Amino acid sequence: MGEIAPTENLLMRIQCISGVVLVTMSGAAWVFFSKQAALSVFLGGGIVILSFQVLKWQLRRALQKAKGSPSTGGLFFSYYLRFLGSLFLVFLLMHLGWVGPVGFLVGLSTVMVSVVIVGGLEYLVSFTKRGDG
């Protein structure tokens, strides 16, 4: 097996932190609010993490398959198809009343929170490596 590229390592950290953030936020919602709030956070986080995984797969497939630059038409089509699928799931869960809007929105922010955490950690590591002061 080959060496893992730095960007792949970064994506793996974002995925791991996303899982930890999802479990932590769902547990906190259950303890401090209700089971319904915890379910809302969990479903929102599950949708956004699944969407992130599909996006990663789509981009990897498009970039590995293309000999030059990937075809933008197919890439945009699959991107918007994934987006519309996620949007449909959000609409369906909200319309059926299975989730509360605030908890669901908190869950949908799971990957964004993970990116901020990983970015902050990367900054701290580069700051400490750059100078010992």
For 28-83, how does the pLDDT look when each residue is reduced to its tens digit (9 = 90+)?
A: 999 999 999 999 999 999 999 999 998 888 878 777 765 666 667 777 788 888 88
pLDDT at 58: 81
pLDDT at 76: 78
Across the range 94-105, mean pLDDT stands at: 91
pLDDT at 117: 93
Q: The dihedral of CA 105, 106, 107, 110: what is its sign?
A: positive
5 φ, ψ to 5°?
A: -70, 150
pLDDT at 132: 55
Q: What is the pTM of this model?
A: 0.80
Q: Which residues, including other chains, have CB under 8 Å from residue 7's CB and lie 6 or more apart? A: none
